[in-house]
Amino acid sequence: MSNTIEQIANQDYKYGFVTDIESDVAPPGLNEDIVRLISTKKEEPEWLLEWRLKSLRHWLTMKEPTWANVKYGPIDYQAIRYYSAPVRKKQLSSLDEVDPELRRTFEKLGISLEEQKRLSGVAVDAVFDSVSVATTFRVELAKLGIIFCSFSEAVKSHPELVRKYLGSVVPYTDNFFATLNSAVFSDGSFCYIPKGVRCPMELSTYFRINSAGTGQFERTLIVADEGASVSYLEGCTAPMRDENQLHAAVVELVALDDASIKYSTVQNWYPGDKEGKGGIYNFVTKRGKAMRNAKLSWTQVETGSAITWKYPSCILQGDNSVGEFYSVAMTNHYQQADTGTKMIHIGKNTRSTIVSKGISAGHGQQTYRGQVLIMKGAEQARNYSQCDSLLLGDKCGAHTFPYIEVRNSTAKMEHEASTSKIGEDQLFYCQQRGISAEDAVSMIVNGFCREVFRELPMEFAVEAQKLLGVSLEGSVG
């Protein structure tokens, strides 16, 4: 491969945040006392403490899974601190104090000035204060009966809902990382859309304030009651640095009869340096349950983290329910990603679609792992899977592990897979038309991801395209 591709692949991570952490933290280690401490600090009810303790006891009997196609050194779980007070960013007085490199990235991503200030911890004036904007929106949502708040808040204000649905999709015994999360989860988001209500706005941007500082063990629960619908956006294209190396989040979606939930993620956590040192380990469990005629749709753009281990899944329990998974994952330098989905068809006439696009550059390793399971009662189930990999350079890798299990002979299954390389031919073609190598790579990669990007909410799609451009930016030109 040409130097050009190498140079593009070798560009630096464009910075994270300078944070100043206040020191209300628990000692390292994990035991019942720590779990009690977390629960007490958060003023939780007894049942939740019991649930956490059950999780911890179960976790202690579990072994860390090793089946994923990723390599990392042993994690010392007793060396991690499981509680710290919400992180507060150091307040700066103006954007001039923000790292110019970071500002340049913000500008490239097209993030508004006010949003830039918020993201980089600059004090914002009252009119534009995102907290107040968020409050305004919340009042509007409340009129419709929509509950949208932090997880801790929901535990206090709507304990019956939390208690009913917590662990109903991802049980506390589910897997090593989900169980760990169940024991020590810090905070996250809770969302409930009542019967027949369409949430009138994307739950996103300004609400991000809600989840700020929720740390490494996030817990999200979204419930769409019968006939309700919601589109939820998680994450942010702006680069995120974090002090915690291990992240183990859990997201549960519940779509009752005729409901629909669309969940979009852009993940850009610190991926580590060029030599593969540092970077976030992102071990996430995301799963949704769809009842009769319900629809679940996962869309993800994953460009960050040193290691990604993530399989947003759908349990298609009700008849005629629909599951979708659209994914773009990019690994550069020494990043590793083992990601994909599970589609569990239980109900009749259930349908699922999987479109996965993996991009590897540098020494990046990319694995698609997907399971499609058609249960015995799933008459006339249908699945379409498409997994495409794009390689930049010759030191990276792409792997595909599709697991397909069909227990009902009326099922219709389609699976397509491809692996391609950004060839010198494509680059030359663009350059011969006057387009720089850098722009050409960005264009080719974005073209490759198009089927996924068009599933993203408009504004997110634009951001995601720019993000890939910035992530691939190199020193040529």
Partner 1 sequence: MLEIKNLHAGIDGKEILKGLTLTIGEGEVHAIMGPNGSGKSTLANVLAGRPKYEVTSGTVTYEGKDLLTMPTEERSREGVFLAMQYPVEIPGVNNIYFLKAAYNAIRKHRGEEELDAVEFLQLVRQKMKVVELDESFLNRGVNEGFSGGEKKRNEIFQMAVLDPKLAILDETDSGLDIDALRIVAAGVNALRSEKHSVLVITHYQRLLRYLVPDVVHVLASGQIVKSGGKELAEELEQKGYEWLEPEAAVAR
Binding site for partner 1 (CB under 8 A): 2, 423-426, 428-437, 439, 443-444, 446-451
Contact call for residues 130 and 199 (beta carbons, < 8 A): no
CB of 96 to partner 1, least distance (A): 30
79 CB-contact burial (10 Å; exposed 0-12 / middle 13-18 / buried 19+): exposed
Which residue, 106 or 453, is less far from partner 1 as judged by CB?
Answer: 453
> CA separation (Å) from 265 to 110, 268, 271, 273, 275?
18, 10, 17, 23, 27
Q: What single-letter amino acid sits at 469?
A: G
Q: Which of 398, 42, 397, 84 is nearest to 213 (CA)?
A: 84
The answer to whether 405 and 435 are in contact (CB under 8 A) is no
Contact in structure between 386 and 354 (CB atoms under 8 Å): yes
CA–CA gap between residue 309 and residue 120 (Å, rounded) = 28
Question: Shortest approach of partner 1 to residue 2 CB, angstroms?
Answer: 6
In angstroms, give the least distance from the CB of 410 to partner 1. Answer: 32
One-letter amino acid at 133 equals: V
Q: Give the position of tokens 């599970």.
A: 342
Residue type, 273: D
- Least separation in angstroms between residue 468's CB and partner 1 is 12
Question: In the bound complex, what is the minimum distance in angstroms from residue 435's beta carbon to partner 1?
Answer: 5
Report the residue number, 360 or 383, with the smaller CB distance to partner 1: 360
Separation of alpha carbons 159 and 152, rounded Å: 10
How would you list the strands of the sheet with 295-302, edge to edge?
229-235, 260-267, 295-302, 322-331, 351-360, 382-391, 412-421
> Cβ 425 to partner 1, closest distance in Å?
5
- Minimum separation from the CB atom of position 353 to partner 1 (A): 18
Question: Can you name the residues that pair with 297 across neighbouring β-strands?
Answer: 262, 324
Q: What tokens appear for 137 in the block?
A: 């929106």
Report the residue number, 47 or 429, with the smaller CB distance to partner 1: 429
Cβ closest to partner 1, residue 1 vs residue 37 = 1
Nearer to partner 1, 91 or 420 (CB): 420
**Cβ 405 to partner 1, closest distance in Å?**
31
| Residue 212 Cβ vs partner 1, minimum distance, rounded to whole Å | 35
Structure tokens at 352: 């699922």
Q: Write b or e for each residue in 269-308: b if 16 or more Cβ atoms lie within 10 A of its Cβ, otherwise e.
A: bbbbebebeebbbbbbbbbbbbbbbbbbbbbbbbbbbbbb
In the complex, minimum distance from the CB of residue 1 to partner 1, in angstroms, rounded to a whole number: 10
Question: Among residues 332, 265, 275, which one has the least CA distance to residue 305?
Answer: 332
SS (H, E, C) 311-361: CCEEEECCCCCEEEEEEEEEECCCCEEEEEEEEEECCCCCEEEEEEEEEEC
Question: Least separation, in Å, of the C-beta of 453 and partner 1?
Answer: 9
Nearest to 269 by CA among 324, 329, 356: 329
